Structure 1
Amino acid sequence: MATAEEIERRVEQADTARSAKRAAAAQQVGALAQRRAAIAEQLADIEEQLGAVLASVSDVMDIDELATFTDVPAADLTRWLTARKPNRGKRKRPAASAESDTNRGPSTAKTPTARPTSTRTEPAPTRTDSAQTPLRVPAEVA
């Protein structure tokens, strides 16, 4: 039978091997995830460039014609074109000043307007006869 010291040594040895495997796996996953993120960013940039080019040539060539020339599926070309972010430029916001805030006065809350309450309607009766017989449904007249 193993002594207490031997059992402790064996557990530590097993834990060391397990910890080394866990650390290696975590490092490999981390490196691959970083690589994937970089490639995904590159792919997004390329797709954005494709969309910009497609938009710029739309006046001289349509998607189907371009697909014929390039052997790139029209669905892919359309997806890149529609996913393109339009070049809008940066919006400028006016700087808020203390003067404009003090000159406004108190704000007033709008009260909701009263709406007429809807009347309950009875559910339509279930048909038990053939489809040839017209169904009569009561209608409300306002």
Structure 2
Amino acid sequence: MATIEEIARRVEEADAARSARRSAAAKRVGELAQQRADVAEQLGDIERELGDVLAESSDVIEIDELSRFTELPAADLARWLDARKTSRTKRKRSTAGAPATKKGANEGPAGTTRPAARQATTAPEPAIPRADTVTTPARVTAAAT
């Protein structure tokens, strides 16, 4: 039978090998995740640039024609163009010189009213009488004639 010291040494050896493998796996996953983030950022930049070029050239060539020339799916070209349009932030209008008004709960920008949140319309449920207040009508029997 192994001594207590021998058992402890064996466990430490087994744990050391496992820890080294766990550490290597964690490092590799971290490296790959960072590489993926870098590539995703590059891809985003390229897609934004594609959208810009598509927008700038839209007056001389249409998506369908570009698709035929480049053999790229028109859906991809349209997606890049649309992504460019939606990613731009809208500038807020200056409120300088505008009358100061307090906006209510149903008001949006520039005092316009927004429609109230739609509520589901359901038929009201009939009231259910409480058990202690229910009176049962007396049974009426028909008289035999």
The TM-score, its normalising length taken from structure 1, stands at 0.63
Other-structure match for 1:69: 69
Is 1:55 the counterpart of 2:61 in the alignment? Answer: no
State the one-letter code of the partner of 1:39: V
Identical aligned pairs, as a percentage? 58
State the one-letter code of the partner of 1:8: A
Count of aligned pairs between the two proteins: 104
Q: Larger deviation: 69-78 or 42-51?
A: 69-78
SS at match of 2:58: coil
Q: CA deviation at 1:60?
A: 1.1
Gaps of 5+ in 1: 95-103, 111-117, 122-142
Per-residue CA deviation, residues 2-25 of structure 1 (Å, 9 max, x unaligned), is: 110000000000000000000000
State the one-letter code of the partner of 1:14: A
1-side partners of 2:62 and 2:80: how far apart?
14
- Runs of 4+ in structure 1 over 6 Å off: 107-110
Q: How does 1:1-142 map to 2 (within 5 A)?
A: 1-85=1-85, 120=123
Per-residue CA deviation, residues 35-57 of structure 1 (Å, 9 max, x unaligned), is: 00000000000000000110111
Q: CA deviation at 1:93?
A: 7.2
Q: CA deviation at 1:89?
A: 7.9
Q: CA deviation at 1:75?
A: 0.9
Q: Which has the higher contact order (CA 8 A, sep 6+)?
A: 1
RMSD of the alignment, in Å? 3.1
2-side partners of 1:90 and 1:79: how far apart?
23
Q: CA deviation at 1:59?
A: 1.1
